[in-house]
Structure 1
Amino acid sequence: MRIFLTGGRGMVGRNFLEHPTARSHDILAPDSTELDLRDAAAVHRWLAAKAPDIIVHAAGKVGGIQANLREPVAFLVDNLDIGRNLVLAARACGVKALLNLGSSCMYPRDAANPLCEERILHGELEPTNEGYALAKIAVAKLCEYITRENAEYQYKTLIPCNIYGRHDKFAPASAHMLPSIIRKLHEAKTGGLEQVEIWGSGEARREFMYAGDLADCMWRAVEQFESLPPLMNAGLGRDWTVNEYYAIAARVIGYSGGFTHDLTKPVGMLQKLVSIERSSRWGWHAATPLEKGIEITYDYYLKGPDR
C-alpha cells in the first residue's frame, strides 16, 4: 500500500516507521518543512498529487501538564487545524481509508475506570489538558460523521493510552511523566542527589504503554483495516501509581536515593486506565513489560539524540 503518515518525525511516527512491517509498504512521511498541515490548501494539493491508499494521522502538538498549562491556545488550535485540514482534504481527494490517532485525554475526568469508548463526551474534561482533548474529540467526531454520511469513506480512530519509548521527549518543558521521571532519576544518580521530588502524593494512577507496542497495533490496523472497529482504545488494561513508576524506574536506572512529595503541584486525573475489551475482541494485546520498556527507553536516553 501507499501510506501517507503524518507526524513521521514524532515518537509515534518514528516507532511506526521502525516497525518491521514498514519495509513491505510505500510510506510517504513529509516533515513540516515539506508539508505544513496547518495550511489547508497545501494539504489538499499534496494529497491530490500523491493519492495514498490510506492515511495514518499521528501528527500533533503534544506535551505534558506544564506545556498544556502554558500554551492552551496552541494545543487547541494547532491540533484542531491539523486534524480538520487533513480529514477534509482526504475526503475531497477521494482517500477512502484514514486511521486517526486520538488520546485518552478525550475521556471525562470523572468517568469510571476502565475508560470505555462510549464514555467520550459524557462528562467534563480534565482542565490541565482540556484544549488538547477538545481538538482530539472534534477530529474523531469529524471522522465519524464523514463515515456516517458515506460508508465508502472509512475514517477510524485509535485511542492510545499514555505512550513512552524510543524517540520520546525528555526536556522538562515538553516531557510527559515517564520520560520526565527517567531524566530526573538519571540526573539525581549522576549528581549524587539524596532525594527526588514527586508532584502530588504519588498515588494517582497512570497507564503507560511502550511506543513499539502502539506501532504494532497501528500496523495491524492498517493491514486489517476492514475488521478494525470505528473507535477503539489501545492500551495495557492495567496501571501503576506514580510512586510505583518512580520505584521501577529507579531500579532500572540504579538510583538508590529517596523521594519527597510536593502536594501543591497539579497531578491531573487521579486515574486514567483505558478499557481493552474492544481491542481484545479484535485480537490485539500489548507485548512489552513495563520494566523492559523503561530499560529500552533509558538506553535510548543515554545515547542522547533527543535529550
Structure 2
Amino acid sequence: MAKARILLTGGRGMVGRNILEHPLADQWDFIAPGSHELDLTDFAATQRFMKEVKPDVVIHSAGRVGGIQANMAHPVDFLVTNVDLGRNVVLAAREAGVSKLLNLASSCMYPRNAVNPLHEDLILKGELEPTNEGYALAKIFATRLCQYVSRENPNLQYKTLIPCNLYGRHDKFSPAHSHLIPAIIHKVHQAKLHGLASVEIWGDGLARREFMYTGDLADAVLRGLARFEQLPDLMNIGLGHDFSINDYYTATAEVIGWEGNFMHDTTKPVGMKQKLVDIERQRTWGWMPATSLREGIQKAYQYYLQEGTHEL
C-alpha cells in the first residue's frame, strides 16, 4: 500500500527538521522542498508546485521566526513575509484540491493582557504584545484563512495547532535571531568557556514562559496526521505549566555546569508577563508531551555543542 504523500513547508527549519527525524515520520512519504527549490513567497510558483506534487496532506510550518530583538528590528519583514507564506500555501492547497492541511501557528496570537491559561477562543479578543505584533498578525491571518476555507467547503479540513514557545535540536543560537532558551544556552556556555562570573538577564526574571521541546511538537503533529479526523480545527499544544525566566537560567546553568551569578537589567524589554496556553482540548484529544525541562535543555545543549555553534 502506497504511503500518503505529505508536503511539509519549512522542512529546513527547527520544527520541520524535528518532524522529519521523528521515528513516526517513516509512515508517510514526505516532500520537504527548501527555499532554493520552492519560493513560497511566489504564489504562482507555489501553485505550480502544489498541482505537480498533488499531496494528500500539507503541513505548513514555514515562517520567518526570531526572538524579541529580531521582531523589534524587522517588523515589516515579520508581518509581510509570514502573511505571504500563509496566504500562498493555504490558497494553493485549496486550488489544488488538497483535502487536509495542518497549519502551525503560535501562542503569540493571544492578547497580551488575557487571563492565563490562554484558551483558543481568546484569539482577537484584545491587544497584541507590541514586541512581536507583526508576526502575531500574520499567524492570525493564516489561522483565520484556514477556518474560512473549511467553512466555505466542509470537504476541506484545514486545521491549526497553536504550539507554546519551542526550543530544541536545530534551534537558532545566534543572539540576533534566537529565542529565550537557545539565547540562554549560548550566554551561559560562553560564560563558562571564558570564566565569567556573571550573566545578564533582561528584566527582573519573574516573567513566566511555557517552553516545550520541539521533538514533542513533532510527535503531536505526526500523531495528528494519523488521527486527523479527531483533531479539533483549532487546538493549543503545550505543557500545561510554565516557568519563570529565572528558572530557565538556573536550569540551563545546572545542565552546563556554570556556577556564576545572574545580574538583572530592568531597563530591557521582557514582553508579556505570562504566556501559558490552555491544554484542555489537547488533554481531551489524548496527548501530552514527554520531555522534562532539564532533559530538553540537555538535548538542546548537546546539539549546540555539535552543530549550533557553527551557525553563530
TM-score by length of 1: 0.99
Distance 1:10 1:88 in 2: 22
3-state SS of paired residue (2:288)? coil
Quick one: which amino acid aligns to residue 44 of structure 2? A
2:34 aligned residue: 31
Deviating 4+ runs (over 3 angstroms): none
Shift of 1:19: 0.5
Alignment of 1:82-97 (within 5 A): 82-97=85-100
Tell me the C-alpha RMSD between the 2 structures.
0.6
Distance 2:190 2:97 in 1: 51
Shift of 1:136: 0.2
Matched, 1:176 2:179: yes
Deviation track 1:49-68 (CA, whole Å, cap 9, x = no partner) reads 01000000000000000000
Distance 1:238 1:101 in 2: 21
Q: 2:283 aligns with which of 265, 280, 283?
A: 280
Shift of 1:154: 0.4
Distance 1:83 1:34 in 2: 18
Distance 1:132 1:35 in 2: 22
Q: 2:125 aligns with which of 122, 125, 136?
A: 122
Deviation track 1:79-101 (CA, whole Å, cap 9, x = no partner) reads 00011011011111100100000
1:102 aligned residue: 105
1:19 aligned residue: 22
2:234 aligned residue: 231
Shift of 1:24: 1.8
Matched, 1:49 2:55: no
Alignment of 1:121-160 (within 5 A): 121-160=124-163
Q: 1:218 aligns with which of 216, 221, 241?
A: 221
Quick one: which amino acid aligns to residue 46 of structure 1? F
Distance 1:43 1:192 in 2: 50
Matched, 1:65 2:68: yes
Distance 2:93 2:61 in 1: 15
Q: 1:260 aligns with which of 258, 263, 271?
A: 263
Quick one: which amino acid aligns to residue 165 of structure 2? N
2:13 aligned residue: 10
Matched, 1:75 2:70: no
Distance 1:28 1:156 in 2: 20
3-state SS of paired residue (1:134)? helix
Quick one: which amino acid aligns to residue 259 of structure 1? F
Distance 1:244 1:283 in 2: 28
Q: 2:196 aligns with which of 188, 193, 196?
A: 193
Shift of 1:223: 1.0
Quick one: which amino acid aligns to residue 144 of structure 1? Q
Quick one: which amino acid aligns to residue 211 of structure 1? T
Q: 1:295 aligns with which of 293, 298, 308?
A: 298
Shift of 1:192: 0.4
Structure 2 segments unaligned to the other structure (5+ residues): none
Distance 2:106 2:305 in 1: 28
Quick one: which amino acid aligns to residue 141 of structure 1? R
3-state SS of paired residue (1:255)? coil
Distance 2:136 2:307 in 1: 31
Distance 1:58 1:139 in 2: 11
Distance 1:11 1:200 in 2: 27
Quick one: which amino acid aligns to residue 188 of structure 2? L
Shift of 1:304: 2.7
Distance 2:27 2:101 in 1: 19
Structure 1 segments unaligned to the other structure (5+ residues): none
Shift of 1:23: 1.3
TM-score by length of 2: 0.98
Matched, 1:206 2:209: yes
Quick one: which amino acid aligns to residue 188 of structure 1? A
